[in-house]
A and B are shown apart, each in its own frame.
Chain A
């Protein structure tokens, strides 16, 4: 039961025995596009923390202060719903794009792909292309090998550390962080997360690479469920290519009964996951289109038309028409539109202030003689805007209810004020538990109004 296919599958064995994948460098349309995506995405990631907006870091997730700053917008923990909505929107967009164009995400935008690309680029710059790397790995540990391997590791570690630094820079003001690191007085947790992220980057992009996509990525396993016969996939045109085989230059392949595939295995050599696309669509395929570029180059050389391996759909390969509007895309885009509308609407209607009313937990009520029954509350007012605000607090819901503490409350911009408040109700109306409401109205002309309900407790009625 011997025999081995081009992608390394040994027939008759239960598990695929895998050799290390040495992806060959590839040039072409999609490689350029992929490299462009890498530069844009990595550039955005590394530059992100350094952007400023209105005198403050433009994107800062200030976890210790529990505030998120995103381009002049301040999000509070109470705005968490937007984060949840955003995550759901991203997930549904992923479904939508997968249904239309297959694994575009994997091939061009996934951090795993992008950083692997960057790490492979370093590797290639230092150790050379595929054949040189294979040779180098087989060579004994002499000076040249040690030098190259050390240099590569140093570059990888440096990139990983810088990645970790940039990541932490989204959570800690990056300029302060940089100077703290230089002076060796950064917070221990900060350093820990920096190293943790650097380690993860090194491990995922330098060490595990395509194994992450093959074995560990949940999306890779589920994406099949979003595919249909009109989804764009990278595919080998079996009809045109088979029977494959090498032929002499200029000879008539048709006369020899051969298809267009010259069986040069370039498509296998460039594949970062080490599969043979000619065996059909496989879940390991991350749709990076490297095989398309490789095959196009070969087709140009042998004088056949391009596109033996190409982006296509299952229906197109069967010479059927392409349908963009189909139940799956309509449902996904419908859900997506609905979510986006919800997000935009709720962002527009976002309340500029929040009031929390917390009852005093230690005493239910206090008898304060002629004034009646007193309840104590803690009022917390969050001013989410940058401007200072002046508010008037009113209480209602029971006859004769009165606020005993100062009704006028000032809250500075972007801050939280906690004020103890006591409320009294005459004896006759205070029995049992009653719902009362607190109304906060701005009195500086900004017309902000927040109403919150709470309970007023008095002695039980039978007493």
Chain B
């Protein structure tokens, strides 16, 4: 039980948790409108057979989606460089 959270731990904890919450809310919104079985019907691929499986897959899909989007955002947003550049070695 190490309670000293490094920046990275913080980053991934926040990333996972926020994408989880958003996935929960949006899978609720999505499946309130769309019956997962209709998706299976319309694409003619037997992805899953029960609604429960559809809800679960939808939820994890949204979670992964949020996670990847958040991760890329964290990677791409950069802080302003504060320290000096590492000196270029001249030969």
Contact = CB atoms under 8 A, between A and B. Distances in A.
Contact of B13 (A190, A215, A218): A215
A83 B32 contact: yes
B53 interface: yes
B50 A189 contact: yes
Interface SS of A by simple majority: helix
A189 B52 contact: yes
A64 B51 contact: yes
Nearest to A79: B32
Interface string A417-452: 000000000000000000000000000000000000
A253 interface: no
A251 interface: no
A363 interface: no
Contacts, number: 52
Interface stretch (B3-11, B65-73, B83-91): B3-11
Contacts of B52: 63-64, 187, 189-190
Interface in B1-47: 1, 3-5, 7, 10, 13-14, 17-18, 21, 25, 28-29, 31-33, 35
B53 to A, nearest CB: 6
Interface string B50-61: 111101100000
A64 B50 contact: yes
Given A64-B50, A64-B52, A211-B13, A83 B28 contact: yes
A216 B1 contact: no
A207 interface: yes
B23 to A, nearest CB: 13
A223 to B, nearest CB: 16
Contacts of A84: 29, 32
Given A18-B3, A189-B56, A211-B13, A218 B32 contact: no
A77 B32 contact: yes
A80 B53 CA distance: 21
Contact of B3 (A21, A63, A64, A190): A21
A20 B4 CA distance: 8
A220 B49 CA distance: 40
Nearest to B51: A64
Contact of B56 (A18, A80, A192, A212): A192
A216 B5 CA distance: 12
Interface string A206-233: 0110011001101000000000000000
Contact of B35 (A15, A77, A190): A77
The 5 A-B pairs of least Cβ separation, nearest first, read A80-B32, A216-B17, A189-B52, A20-B3, A64-B51
Interface of B: 1, 3-5, 7, 10, 13-14, 17-18, 21, 25, 28-29, 31-33, 35, 50-53, 55-56
29 contacts: A15-B7, A17-B4, A18-B3, A18-B4, A19-B3, A20-B1, A20-B3, A21-B3, A63-B31, A63-B51, A63-B55, A66-B35, A66-B51, A77-B33, A80-B33, A83-B32, A189-B50, A189-B52, A189-B53, A192-B56, A207-B1, A211-B3, A211-B5, A211-B13, A212-B17, A215-B13, A216-B14, A216-B18, A218-B18
Given A215-B13, A216-B17, 10 more contacts: A18-B4, A21-B3, A64-B50, A77-B33, A83-B28, A83-B32, A189-B56, A192-B56, A207-B1, A215-B14
